[in-house]
Structure 1
Amino acid sequence: MTTATPSTLPATAGWFARAEAWLDDKGKVAWLAAMVLGFVFFWPVGLALLFYMIWSKRMMSCRKSRTARMPQGFRTMRSSGNAAFDAYKAETLRRLEEEQDGFEAFLKRLRDARDKAEFDQFMEERSRRAGPPATDAETSS
């Protein structure tokens, strides 16, 4: 879906297209504010805006939020034009990713140790509740 800004719309564009382009240019907050004001002043307008936003997927396609939905590599790997800074940034990002992987491995080991301790405790409580195993002499009398 292509969104136009108010300045790129032709002069013959209707008021709805201009309003839609203006709201798209302002982002999600403008769409939400318009919907809330629609509910406050005349509830069918707010309801119509809500249905329009759901139908057109406005909350997912506002231009301001596109960079937030991009994968990590696309946002961070743009060149700044300075080779030294780009090398520093790449090295720092690589180091941070290694640290993150190490931290996630550490957390996994902690979770595994906690799970093992909880399981061992469960098995110990279960064996205490069951009591000593009955012998054949006790069961036959």
Structure 2
Amino acid sequence: MSAYEQAAGQSGGPWQGRRCGGGAFAWKPVEILAVVVGFAIYWPIGLAVLGWKVLQRKGYPVPDVFEFARARFTDFASRATAQRQAWQPFGATKSGNAAFDEWRKAELEKLDEQRRKLDAAEREFAEHMDNLRRARDREEFDRFMAARGGNAQ
């Protein structure tokens, strides 16, 4: 019997310190339960727990893995934002013809202005519909209060 097993036997509860298997990839019963329950609830959860255990086996400290993933996602998000900001519609690179480039720039500015007007009209319409809903709700409430015999205000 190893010193670990002796210490585990003296520690208390029936499952405390026990491991299934041996070596670096030893599974605690709670980890096995987590994988089974994870797969039973939703398979990606079980897969994530399994991946976490594999990462432990390979010697990756798990909190560092989460930090690495967060940093990678942040890098990806910042690159995507930079690309979106640098994006020019219809491959608007310089054509070599100054007159054509000026015309294209003017047309794109007109389209941007139309887009802004369309967005403003959409917001105004949404506000109008919201006001209509409020008015209808107020009418229904007033009708309810009148039918109930109470005073609406």
TM-score range, shorter chain: 0.3 to 0.5
Q: TM-score, normalised by structure 2?
A: 0.45
Does 1 or 2 have the higher relative contact order (CA < 8 Å, sep 6+)? 1
Q: TM-score, normalised by structure 1?
A: 0.48
